[in-house]
Amino acid sequence: MLLELAVALEDGERHAEAVQLLREHDGITGDWPDRYLLVHNALMAGDLPLAREVFARLAAPDDTWQPAADRIRRTLARAAAVPPAGPADLRGWHHVLTGGLLATLSPFGHDAGMTGRWAYLQGGWDDCRLGLERLRLVLEATGRRPAAVALLPDRGSRALGLAAAELLGLPAAPYRPGTPDALVLAYDLNEVDGELLSALHERAPGEVLYEHATCWTDTPAVSADVCGLLVQRIVAPWEPRMAMGEDGEVTRSPADDRPAEELAREVLAASAEPDPGDGATPPDPDAALADFAARAAATWATGSRDRIRSAGPVRSSRFA
């Protein structure tokens, strides 16, 4: 009953309450999975000292719990290498919990509940291009040199991959699981075939996975190594979209059915200038991301790409 309640609190992202519950009943809990759940929820609540303390006392796990122990060990190593700057450091906590590098922060509503994430975004070609430029910056800062771009089959991901190949001067070929030193690009991993996601869970040597739009309320089955942005709902630039006419009437434009090659040209022709936003959001210059990526390089893009279901300690407003 105790563990069921703790898991229910965890599923509701009430991690601090799960921590309190498990600590209050520590005398009747074991190491695996009981105190492992305490460590996990402490991490999701942002309590790194408690997570380290409890994890250090755990007995060695059996084969069933070894992957979970390895994930916690990698998480704590990332936190030690690049500690989050504070409780609202979205890029820092995203890296600690998922292992990924967050390329851009939303320039809207930072102090009004969004803290760097998007709730809804009508995506454009410009944010696609900006994401690729930030990806290039990350690769340079971490010293990664992909040999080729691996193209996923869905149209949006293929378009993004073709644009990246042109931008980075790399050859492009269809994705083949296990190919070393490949740069794999997805527009939205939740739209990628499940078998491909299973293949991407275990990292090929030197492989880097980029996702442009990562859903933070329904996280994908694998965590990308670089995320363009965090969003609850995005409308891709080729999807039907709403627009307001001069008379104030809202209209809906049709889908853009052009092939991926033409969509890639739109991305390459777009501006990479960041949206200035609402003027009340902290700046997010290239130099800040480059510095963060360089400090994270030693522990970045290692191990399996585990799904992290929680938004972690940095909270953002969301649609119900």
- 264 and 131 in a common domain: yes
Tens digit of each residue's pLDDT (9 = 90 or more) over 248-269: 777 888 999 999 999 999 999 9
- 74 and 195 in a common domain: no
Helix, strand, or coil (residue 4):
helix
pTM of the model: 0.95
Percent of the chain past pLDDT 70, that is, above it, reads 99
CATH (domain of 25) = 1.25.40
The domain boundary, picked from 25, 52, 81, lies at 81
- 94 and 76 in a common domain: no
Instruction: Examine the pLDDT at 219 and tell me if it is beyond 90.
Output: yes
Separation of alpha carbons 213 and 235, rounded Å:
10
Q: Is residue 313 part of a domain?
A: no
What confidence score (pLDDT) does residue 28 get? 85
Stretch 187-194: mean pLDDT:
98
- 155 and 39 in a common domain: no
- 103 and 188 in a common domain: yes
> b/e for 228-253, b at 16 or more Cβ within 10 A?
bbbbbebbbbbeebeeeeeeeeeeee
What confidence score (pLDDT) does residue 242 get? 81
Domains: count for the chain: 2
- 285 and 266 in a common domain: yes
Tens digit of each residue's pLDDT (9 = 90 or more) over 11-65: 999 999 999 999 999 888 899 999 999 999 999 999 999 999 999 999 999 999 9
Stretch 116-128: mean pLDDT:
97
Bridging pattern class, strands 241-244 and 250-253? antiparallel
Residue with tokens 């300690």: 313
Q: What's the sign of the alpha-carbon dihedral 15, 20, 25, 30?
A: positive
Structural domain for 18, as ranges: 2-81
- 168 and 22 in a common domain: no
